[in-house]
Structure 1
């Protein structure tokens, strides 16, 4: 569906050249939700804007739905952009227009008849959960409702691809989850390919099938979300995974516990998929002469299954503890010895 080849973008400034996107190769499959995560300045916003040529690449190729976006004429590019919807962090709504008029705007530009406009707008209002709000103005809506208008407007021309540029960054956590649920629903109902950029691993964890991690203009790691959670390789990726698996309060609590005498060996166990349902701790206690105390645990859901992280304290003879740790690893559960190893 989307193929990027040797894609690069260099900005020329008075302080010198800035390579915002650096020689990226990437393939995004039809119908998947693909996430690009990185901190501010990583190049992710520039990357997503090159998918619809809002930002022209310095070099490289962009192919979207069989169209070479980088080499299209202005007329052909306008035509191609009708198959690529985009939603933004700050909504970009027309404040003097009602909800229905905002959604209809792309259809007006395309020259769709008033009758067909109304039919399509009514369908989209229902799809995004804004029944009864068609006559409201943006100033009368909550942040989540505004973003729903933005999503409906982006879908007006029945695009094949939806680009989301930090679409939930301006929203509170509860509203963010409702918008993410809507995007998953749209992906399932319409078979739409969705590409989103974010700096929040919670967003990736909740809805993406695959993810690319960007740093300094490059993709440093990519893969299935569950695999990235299970075995992050790069330091940047580990930082992002830690956002979900080890919240700040967990780290503070563990640091406090490590100061206590007799804490023993502190282990982090990582479970993936069906492993999260297994009575592993019970098995270990029955097989080995060790005592285990659960310090902290969390299970999260991804699009491809569940992911669990469990912190435990294990006390016993050193050799027995090592045998127990080896047994846990034999069960294909990731083990990291945080303390006492």
Structure 2
């Protein structure tokens, strides 16, 4: 569906050339929700803008749905963009037009007859959960409702690809989740390929199938979301994963747990997929002569299964502790010794 090959984007400045994207190679499958995450300046915004021709690569090629958007121009590029919808962080709505007129706008530009435009806009109002708000103006809507209008407008031309440029960054957490749920629903109903960029790992965790982690214009890490959570390789990825999987176990909390349990071992168990449903603690208690204390933990859901962390304290004979660790690892649980 989308192929990015050896893409570079270099901007010229008074201080010299600035490399925003540096040799990126990516592919996105049809019907996939693909996330690109990175901190400010990582190059993710430049990358997504090149997917619909708003920016042209300095080197390399970009193919979206069979169209070489990195090289085509004029009428061919405009036609290609009709199959690529885009939603933005700050909505980019026309404030002087009603909701239904905003949704119709791409169809108006494309020369679609008015009756057909109105019918399509009403269908989309229902799809995004805004029935009855067609005559409202953007200023009368909440942030989440504005973004729903932006999504409906992006879908007006029946695109094959939907690009999301920090689409939830201006929203509160509850509204963010409702918009993400809507994107998942659209992906499933329409088979739409979605590419989103974000600096929030919660967004990746909640809806993406695969993720590319960008740093300094390069792809630092790439893989299935569950695998990236289970075994992050790069330091930047570990920082992102920690934001959502270890929000309860900051360094201070871990240090306090270690102080409270000076003997035995403080362990961190990481569960992925089917392993989250295993009765590991019950098995440890039954199989080994150990004291087992659950300290804290949490389980999160991703599009490809559950991901969880659990901190426990085990105390007992050293031989029993070693056997218990070996047993835990045999249950496809990642084990980290935090102390002891």
Structure 1 residue 194 corresponds to structure 2 residue 194: yes
Unmatched segments (≥5 aa) in structure 1: none
For 2:255, the equivalent position in structure 1 comes to 255
In 1, are the aligned partners of 2:272 and 2:306 still within 8 Å (CA)? yes
Determine the C-alpha separation between the residues in 1 that align with 2:199 and 2:264: 36
Report the RMSD for the aligned CA atoms in angstroms: 1.1
Unmatched segments (≥5 aa) in structure 2: none
For 1:216, the equivalent position in structure 2 comes to 216
What does 1:106-185 align with in structure 2 at a 5 Å threshold? 106-185=106-185
Determine the C-alpha separation between the residues in 1 that align with 2:102 and 2:251: 45
Determine the C-alpha separation between the residues in 2 that align with 1:251 and 1:121: 51
State the 1:327 CA deviation: 1.2
For 1:4, the equivalent position in structure 2 comes to 4
Kindly provide the CA deviation profile for residues 211-243 of structure 1, in whole angstroms up to 9, marking residues without a partner as x: 000000000111111111111111111111111
Kindly provide the CA deviation profile for residues 81-124 of structure 1, in whole angstroms up to 9, marking residues without a partner as x: 01000000000011101100110110110001010000000000
SS where residue 274 of structure 2 aligns? helix
Kindly provide the CA deviation profile for residues 272-311 of structure 1, in whole angstroms up to 9, marking residues without a partner as x: 1121111111111211121111111111111111111111
SS where residue 41 of structure 1 aligns? coil
Decide which moves more: 316-325 or 235-244: 316-325
Kindly provide the CA deviation profile for residues 26-56 of structure 1, in whole angstroms up to 9, marking residues without a partner as x: 0000000000000011000000000011011
SS where residue 254 of structure 2 aligns? helix
Determine the C-alpha separation between the residues in 1 that align with 2:250 and 2:175: 24
For 2:305, the equivalent position in structure 1 comes to 305
Determine the C-alpha separation between the residues in 2 that align with 1:124 and 1:261: 57
Structure 1 residue 330 corresponds to structure 2 residue 324: no
SS where residue 90 of structure 2 aligns? coil
In 2, are the aligned partners of 1:230 and 1:272 still within 8 Å (CA)? yes
For 2:67, the equivalent position in structure 1 comes to 67
Determine the C-alpha separation between the residues in 2 that align with 1:323 and 1:126: 58
TM-score by length of 2: 0.98
SS where residue 300 of structure 2 aligns? strand
Determine the C-alpha separation between the residues in 1 that align with 2:127 and 2:4: 31
TM-score by length of 1: 0.98
Determine the C-alpha separation between the residues in 1 that align with 2:241 and 2:298: 13
